[in-house]
Structure 1
């Protein structure tokens, strides 16, 4: 009898544990029987019950979920191929509708892939490659997010944001683009070097002109100062001569002797002793 009671107790405990489930703060739950929901979605956290072995529980994450797509190739308005790597953030807004249409997150990922790629292809095809990579990117993503969200709501999904992680050229086109960029940069560099050389020549020419002007002005001033000095020297010599002509003549002769008989003067001079140059030696015996 005790063994029977023990077995019954074990079965009762097993039935109790299989009939009890807990929903956390980050979850929503739906009780299904034979694949069909039997009650309203459980939105609040807490302990709940179901019929053991007959009913099962599907739980869904209430948090913000992420969809990360595989990179895909899209054609732009100017017929350029571009590889778009995008992602999206979404939430399960209606768990019952979500269960009935896509069943689980894997099914949602497949559905979102179709919706978002279709919107990206349609909107990116309206713009050129340059516009997509610069000025129109934000406008494109706002439009894609809005349109994708409207289509996803019929599956119990709210799309919060769609973004492009990376936009690349196909591998076969990258080399041609890089070569064209190199050619354009080389032409631009050549233009800059030519402009720089022209400016350098202009600067050098201007500098030479200013140099010539400065040197000419300096020479003019030097000649003026030299002329003024010579005039003053002549004036001093004239004043000295007028005061004592004999003494002046005497000192000038001494200066001449000093230069003639200097050791630096290696020239030989032969002159008569009765010349004016030797007048001062007239009294020498």
Structure 2
């Protein structure tokens, strides 16, 4: 009978002992609450102990968490509306403050509150600068300013805002078409200007090339005429020297050349006297006397 009572008692004691032990993972932090009051804050991984049935354990993330914000429209100083998306990285740093701020909502409630804080800071910071600053390299400084202001306000939630990045800064859908139209017209105007300047440059190059061609051809023709004249003079000098040695032979060759040019095939006709000097070398084998 005693053994029959000892076994259930041992089982009960074991169950109570096991229910008093909990494990904190290295990726988590833990709060031990007793009737809603914080009794332990456990920031290190390992085994923990609590009073069974009286104390409760709540585990929270110890890792860096991400928060993509909802798209929102902001109006910079130049009244040019922009659609902005952001992404924040945050971490729970104070479990007691976190529990008081979000209650039993945990990380989901913290995300909702943090989303409101970051959106408010985005509107405030970007609303104080022109849209050109948001779309240029100045946005890095603006993101750091949003992070710092959001961090200051998020401390009341027990979290630290590590970083805030603007992932998208676009025009609203209804303004995109008109903006693209203006951009397209501007690019077409620039393209027309470039084409006009290119055609003008091409005309200058073509005119210079044509002028160079004319000058080179003219110079070449001049040099050719000079060379041809000098060659003709040299040839005539050689002919004169050769024909001067034998005038009768000179007269004979001139007559042969005249016959060749005059007596060609065709329909041309010549009418002359038979005793014409043109036929002197055809009429007699003896060449005429030199005059």
Q: What is the CA–CA distance in structure 2 between the aligned matches of 1:283 and 1:171, rounded to whole Å? A: 112
Q: Which residue of the partner structure matches residue 8 of structure 2?
A: 7
Q: Distance in 1 between matches of 2:178 and 2:78?
A: 16
1:277 alignment partner in structure 2: 278
2:188 to 161, 168, 186: 186
Within-5 A mapping of 1:45-60: 45-60=45-60
* CA deviation map 1:45-78 (0-9, x unaligned): 2111111122111112221111111111111110
Alignment of 1:76-155 (within 5 A): 76-103=76-103, 104-155=106-157
> How many residues align structurally?
283
Q: 1:239 aligns with which of 232, 238, 241?
A: 241
TM-score when scaled to structure 2? 0.89
User: Residues 223-260 of structure 1, C-alpha deviation per residue, up to 9 Å, x if partnerless?
Assistant: 21221122112211211121111112222222222333
Q: In angstroms, what is the RMSD of aligned CA positions?
A: 2.1
| CA shift for structure 1 position 99 | 1.7
Query: Judging changes above 3 Å, is the alpha-carbon distance between structure 1 residues 266 and 7 closer, same or farther for their aligned structure 2 residues?
Result: farther
1:75: which partner in 2? Answer: 75
Q: How big is the shift at 1:120?
A: 1.2
- Does residue 258 of structure 1 match 2:257? no
Residue of structure 2 equivalent to 1:19: 20
Q: Which secondary structure state, in structure 2, belongs to the residue aligned with residue 134 of structure 1?
A: coil
Deviation readout 1:186-215 (Å, 9 max, x if unpaired): 322332233233333333333332232222
- Partner secondary structure for residue 102 of structure 1: helix
The 3 A distance-change label for structure 1 pair 3 and 82 is farther
Superposition map of 1:161-180 within 5 A: 161-180=163-182
Structure 2 residue matching 1:76: 3-state secondary structure: coil
Unaligned 5+ runs, structure 1: none
Where do 5+ consecutive residues of structure 2 fail to align?
287-291
Moved more, 248-257 or 74-83: 248-257
Match of 2:226 among 224, 227, 234: 224
Per the normalisation by structure 1, the TM-score is: 0.90
**Range 94-103 or range 22-31, more displaced:** 94-103
